[in-house]
Amino acid sequence: MTLDHIPAPLAQAIAQRGYEELTPVQSAVIAPEARGRDLLVSAQTGSGKTVAFGLAMAADLLADATALPPPGRPLALVIAPTRELALQVAKELAWLYAPARGRIATCVGGMNVVAERRTLNAGAHIVVGTPGRLRDHLERGALLLDQARAIVLDEADEMLDMGFREDLEEILDAAPPERRTLLFSATLPKGIAELARDYQKDALRLATAGRASQHADISYQCVAVSPADIEAAVVNLLRFHEAPTAMLFCATRDNVRRLHASLTERGFAAVALSGEHSQSERNQALQALRDRRARLCVATDVAARGIDLPGLSLVIHVELPRDAETLQHRSGRTGRAGAKGTAVLVVPYPARRRVERMLAGAGIKPTWSPVPAPEAIAVQDRDRLLTSIGEGIGALDEADRRLGEELLTRHGVDEIAAALVRVHRMRLPEVEELVDAGPPVRARPERHAADPGGRQGGAPDRRQGGAGVWFRLDVGRRHNADPRWIIPLLCRRGGVTKPDIGSIRILPSETLVEIAPDMAERFQVALNRHATRKGNSAEDQIAIIPAAGPPAAGPPRRRLPPRPAPPRRA
């Protein structure tokens, strides 16, 4: 659909942005069958949804074809799950409604609540906010919705997942019953269907992208790694792709903090985003990415929605998403508005089957490949160096040429070229050597009987070189040592999987563990790497060192005589 079918002020704003035609979701919401109706819209991330609902409610807001009425109580309310998304929505609506002299107000957590109340009292045409802050203003009488003509719920499924249902219901109940309700959601789970049933009237359902097309502009790759090699794999992936802007997702704030510190120490220009950062810190981080002062953003899922960074071509799932919807929202930070992007999942060996099921359920066919090796990264570095130097030659000014001529009088051409290459390489972070270059292929170990003081579990495969190699942990029964947390510790610290761990002997002040012989060397290398980057947690302080040998056999247990059978009754 062309720009001729929308109000003149909005058509002017879109034309000024350089758009010649509308996206599918934008065309769908202003089609004749959608005008004046409640809408339930599912569309892929990055498809222009913000402009879409701005266009959808334009006819309800504009008093005539040229301008909005004077600002007063809000005519429209847009609710978003996160601060970042709300601010992004407000920014988009501001330019869209600028020719119509629209005034946009924001109400989000982490901002000055008094300033927001003053803005609301001064009047606004559209209010954009997060559920908790909007409910607070509503209960205090600062936000009045009696004149609202349209309510928009952006990313409604995420708001339900975050526990905002009660807030949403209170806000919707405060709006006039004759208003339009527009629900925009990437997915339509049961909770969204219930919300639509309770608060929409004869809603028109629009699905502008099928499951396959949601991933059409994103190339999915999976790399299987040892758990101990995850961080090294991330470094090599970043060095291999050298994306202008990349986003790395972790599951927790602590892991964001740890990975951000590690990448910064290695020389990457990185920022962090998580729930522990204030709004000012988040704004500064995003501005650093937009200004290209930083190239990497390490974030939790709080940043998976509402962030639109130009040139973001790479997303790395450092820790796996919990489900296909989270995968879609994370990956949707790239491949936006027709641009191509790459999403890489770093898959620990034990999680491969779960990831394959999740991807199959989402209709994604990824490419499985090894972590980029130093040789492959060196080839990429060489090609990028030749390209960047070639591009820089055309931008030389007279001062550059004079300095170059002076260098030629002092040094040879080959020396200057080699020095240029060296300077370029010194700026690049070092490539990592992986402990485990590929998943070990071994026969499934047999189960064996429980060891005294230990646990019943898989012993190392004796066909791979005899008895296992023993290691010592400086915790025992006095420290509440238990296989339930010792086994995950060994897997994380040493880059092994559960079948690689044999007998576990828990003694009063120490614990001895047996590692499969073909994994012992890799296990030791992973331990050495951890020792150089040890954290401050209690788990990090547990020492794991090679044991002098297998545990000494204890004295044979004394067998009690069989208990006599009870006398039979007559």
* C-beta of residue 157 within 8 angstroms of C-beta of residue 326: no
Reply yes or no on domain 462-546 having CATH 3.30.2310.20.
Answer: no
HEC sequence for 70-117: CCECCCEEEECCCHHHHHHHHHHHHHHCCCCCCCEEEECCCCCHHHHH
Q: What is the pLDDT of residue 458?
A: 47
The 10s digit of each residue's pLDDT in 336-353 is 766 788 999 999 888 888
Kindly indicate the confidence band of residue 515, based on its pLDDT and cuts at 50, 70 and 90: very high
* Alpha carbon distance 47, 240 (integer Å): 29
d(CA 548, CA 550): 7
Q: Which of 69, 76, 181, 169 is nearest to 129 (CA)?
A: 76
- Asked whether this chain's domains 3-207 and 214-375 adopt the same fold, the reply is yes
Q: Confidence band (pLDDT; 50, 70, 90) for 461?
A: very low
Give the lowest-confidence range in 165-174, 209-218, 284-293, 505-514: 209-218
What pTM, to 2 d.p., does this model score? Answer: 0.62
Q: Write out pLDDT tens, residues 162-212.
A: 788 999 999 999 999 999 999 988 777 788 888 888 999 989 998 765 444
How would residue 567 be classed by pLDDT, with cut points 50, 70 and 90? low
C-alpha to C-alpha distances, 384 to 36, 344, 425, 536, nearest whole angstrom: 53, 21, 11, 39
In this predicted structure, the answer to whether residue 79 has a pLDDT above a threshold of 90 is: yes
Beta strands in 280-386 (DSSP E): 296-299, 312-317, 341-348, 367-368
Beta bridge partners of 106: 128
CATH 3.60.70.12 matches 3-207: no
Segment 252-271, tens digit of pLDDT:
888 999 999 999 988 899 99
pLDDT for 468: 87
Which range is least confidently modeled, 72-86, 177-191, 386-400, 500-514?
Answer: 386-400
Rounded distance, CA 315 to CA 297, Å?
Answer: 10
> What is the residue-averaged pLDDT of the chain?
82
- Model confidence at 497, pLDDT cuts 50, 70, 90, reads confident
Map out the domains of the chain as residue ranges: 3-207, 214-375, 462-546
> With bands split at pLDDT 50, 70 and 90, how would you rate the model's confidence at 298?
very high
Give the distance from CA 468 to its chain's centroid.
39
- Which structure tokens are listed for 564? 């006599």
Q: What is the spatial distance between Cα 481 and Cα 454, in angstroms, rounded to a whole number?
A: 11
Distance CA 86, CA 130 (A): 7
- Which residue in this structure is represented by tokens 């309310």? 77
In this structure, of 18-32, 293-307, 380-394, 446-460, the range with the lowest mean pLDDT score is 446-460
* CA–CA dist 514, 531 (Å, integer): 20
Q: Could you tell me if 138 and 146 are in contact, meaning their C-beta atoms sit under 8 angstroms apart?
A: no
Where does residue 480 rank: exposed (0-12), middle (13-18), buried (19+ CB within 10 A)?
Answer: exposed
**Assigned CATH class of 214-375:** alpha beta
Percent of the chain clearing pLDDT 70 (strictly above): 84
